[in-house]
Amino acid sequence: MPKPTRIRHQEPDYDDFDDEPSSGFETEIRQEKIRQLVQDLIGRWYWVALFVILGILAGFYYLSKAPEIYSAKSTLLVKQQMGSVMAKSDQVDEIDLRTDDAMNTVAQRVLRQDLLKKIAARPDILNLPGIIPEPVNWLPHWAQGWFPDPKEKQLEAQKAPADALPNLIRNWTSVDVRRNTRLVDITVEHPSPEVAQALADAIATEYQTELTGVRSEGRMNSMGILDKESDEARTHLQTAQNALANYKRVLDTLEELELREKAVLDLSRKYKAKHPKMVTAQSDLNTFQQRFLSEFDSVRSSPVDRQYWEDHNSELTANGSDDASRLQVARRLLVARQSVLESEIESQTNVFNSILTRKQEQDINQQGTESEMEISSLAELPKRPVSPKKPLILGAAFIGGGFFGLIIAMILTRLDNKLHTVGQAEQVTGLPVLAAIPDIPTKALSQATRKRKVNLDSIPVARRRWDPHLVFREGTSNTTFAEMYRVLRASVSLLGDEKKRKVTLFSSALPGEGKTTTSCNFAIAAAQQGKRTLLVDLDLRKPSVHKNFGIQRDTHPSGSTEILAGQAKFEDSIYTDTGEKNLHIILSGKRAPNPGELLNATKLEEFLKLATSYYDVVVLDSAPLLAVPDTRILAPMVDNFCIVTRAEYGPKGAIRRVISLLRADDNLPAGIIFNGFLEKKRLIGANYSYGNYQTNRYGKAYRYGYGSYGSYGAYGDEDED
């Protein structure tokens, strides 16, 4: 039989192909990928919806737990009296401060630690109800007993409010300069509106009182204030530098000690404890430990920083004379003190340099200045909380949940290795989809039969034996299930002249994808069109055609095996009692010990030549392509080669591998039959379906993974009947 002319198909998008497509084709493929990605993401809308709901619930939970914060604001008016040294009169004018830096400096001085300590020590502040807010327990009520009560921290803070309050007030307070004005806003945010108002007023009045007291005592001009602050900064800086210099020797010893500890650790990975190198290294380490403790005891008894060590003496003596414990505590306290001193030195250096810069500006301008400040307005009792902002929180929860759900959907789409839609099948294979056949549940077929009130006794005996999924029968032949096979019949007929393209082969990449059911239904559809149709079971390893028609395998004396082996004639092997008028079947015959050797090209050509001489349509059901090589031998001899692939079943790599093998054989299929897809609203149209019925998955899902198709000859080892 001459090899039929193949139809050229669009090249699929494979990473394995060496040929580079044109730029226009690449653009088309890219657009198709984007369209498919968007469609897949829309198909996973429920993930986005789920996380949006979770995000909104989290937002409501946060709002239910987060305390309401009230904001109170006091305003200061900053003045500057300036008398020019060139003036001939005693008149002075009030003018704006000339630089933003000067205003910012004034604003930052409001939050000085010493001023905050004065405010925290005031009795009217200490006695405010709720000055230290209740800690928030973010756990739900049913889980709050699982962890220690955070109120313990609150009780600890209340034991020493004078120490805790200054830092808390700093956290609650913000100081801002209004743009292009001399107004400084002191804003306090607190869960209690009364506390917020009292603190804002206290900070404003205390700062004004401080400046007024300084002016009344010494009428200090701005240069004098800068001189005083520079002296204080210099004193603090020198004290910190002297203290740090006092620790230099013991810090150097600590560095040497750490090097010895590292050396011992490195040697312990190679040698045991009694190894000479380990003994030497350990002895050296012990020496440095004793040396460190000795130097540490010496420096902490020095008068330079004695107060610090007296405050921490209890920690050093807590473990008695245990050297290991003393070493650990000493190292921790020494490193902590070094960090504090270095931070203090850096801070005081910045303050000192800033003051010197300001003094230089004063000297250059030859002006005597004196700062004044008055309260522009005191805080009002806030009536409404400023946070949490419900619309903002819920909006952020909505957007965040949607974004996270979209990320999850994209990850799942990326990890998804199954075919779900016709578009995916065409994109992966580069072949047209001849028909999209939905999953056919037996329950739906039974309902259709009962709805049409079919009299089972009127059905021919042979047809009663049919498998329920052969849909061209009384009660189901007018359903959309049967219509899909008619669509397949029409698609195959449009591949070319039916008189010259009689032989149609159905196969699949993996077992269990529905090739036999498709072959049988296609053959019945062709027979009901009035065409003499022959269905041949050429799956010699695991035949299934006889099961679909309810025929015992040994009912007929011969089949495909006997014909190809030369043990029976073609005419004697035809089974006619199929239940369909124009349909005949050639079963697989007896089990063949060597099915691969029976598929001889010459014998197959003779077999198909006889079949086409007697019948208008010849349908071949062959073995899966990746399981055994049988179908690759048959493919060049048929007119219409079709691949059946089941939705959400085999991996994409399996069908890609099949197309790659057939491309190498120059036997690309005519098209794909997309079988067994689950009808979903989001897929209506994407699978060319009508969408007017409900479906459920039927049958057993065989788990054949990519790369585990079995060796040649292993396919079909199971019991046949």
State residue 493's pLDDT score. 92
What tens digit of pLDDT does each residue of 695-712 get?
A: 333 233 333 333 333 333
Q: What is the DSSP letter of 69?
A: B
State residue 29's pLDDT score. 65
State residue 456's pLDDT score. 66
Spatial separation of the C-alpha atoms in residues 512 and 524, rounded to whole Å: 21
Spatial separation of the C-alpha atoms in residues 520 and 537, rounded to whole Å: 10
Measured at the alpha carbon of residue 193, what is the angle toward residues 188 and 194, in degrees to the nearest 5? 100
* pLDDT exceeds cutoff 90 at 416: no
State residue 221's pLDDT score. 54
State residue 617's pLDDT score. 95
Spatial separation of the C-alpha atoms in residues 19 and 395, rounded to whole Å: 50
Count the residues in the chain: 721
Nearest in space to 674 (alpha carbons), one of 485, 462, 472, 446: 485
* pLDDT exceeds cutoff 90 at 515: yes
Q: Is 436 left (phi over 0), alpha (psi -120 to 50) or beta?
A: beta
* pLDDT exceeds cutoff 80 at 602: yes
Spatial separation of the C-alpha atoms in residues 557 and 663, rounded to whole Å: 38
* Average pLDDT score over residue span 485-514: 92
* Average pLDDT score over residue span 673-683: 73
Range from 106-110, 140-144, 322-326, 714-718 carrying the lowest mean pLDDT:
714-718
Antiparallel, parallel or unpaired: β 70-84 and 367-377: antiparallel
* Average pLDDT score over residue span 327-338: 80
State residue 498's pLDDT score. 85
State residue 155's pLDDT score. 53
* pLDDT exceeds cutoff 80 at 142: no
* pLDDT exceeds cutoff 90 at 645: yes
* Average pLDDT score over residue span 246-256: 82
What tens digit of pLDDT does each residue of 302-324 get?
A: 777 777 777 777 777 766 567 77
State residue 697's pLDDT score. 33
Q: Which one-letter amino acid corresponds to residue 420? A: H
Spatial separation of the C-alpha atoms in residues 635 and 615, rounded to whole Å: 19
254-263, 304-313, 437-446, 564-573, range with greatest mean pLDDT: 564-573
The more confidently predicted of residues 32 and 249 is 249
What tens digit of pLDDT does each residue of 399-413 get?
A: 999 999 999 988 888
Spatial separation of the C-alpha atoms in residues 77 and 182, rounded to whole Å: 6
Cβ–Cβ under 8 Å, residues 199 and 173: yes
* 143 three-state secondary structure: helix
Percent share of the chain, pLDDT over 90: 27
* 369 three-state secondary structure: strand
State residue 694's pLDDT score. 35
* Average pLDDT score over residue span 467-486: 87
Burial class of 191 by CB neighbour count within 10 A (0 to 12, 13 to 18, 19+)? middle
78-92, 436-450, 465-479, range with greatest mean pLDDT: 465-479
Residue 42 backbone dihedrals phi, psi, to 5 degrees: -65, -35
Task: Kindly indicate the confidence band of residue 156, based on its pLDDT and cuts at 50, 70 and 90.
Answer: low
Q: What is the DSSP letter of 273?
A: T
Spatial separation of the C-alpha atoms in residues 561 and 281, rounded to whole Å: 84
State residue 455's pLDDT score. 66
Nearest in space to 588 (alpha carbons), one of 540, 655, 518, 644: 540
545, containing H or E segment: helix 545-548
Burial class of 228 by CB neighbour count within 10 A (0 to 12, 13 to 18, 19+)? middle
Contacts of residue 319, Cβ cutoff 8 Å, sequence gap at least 6: 325, 326, 329
The more confidently predicted of residues 248 and 369 is 248
What tens digit of pLDDT does each residue of 255-291 get?
A: 888 888 888 888 888 888 888 888 888 888 888 888 8
CB atoms within 10 A of CB 542: 19
* 166 three-state secondary structure: helix
Q: What is the DSSP letter of 470?
A: -
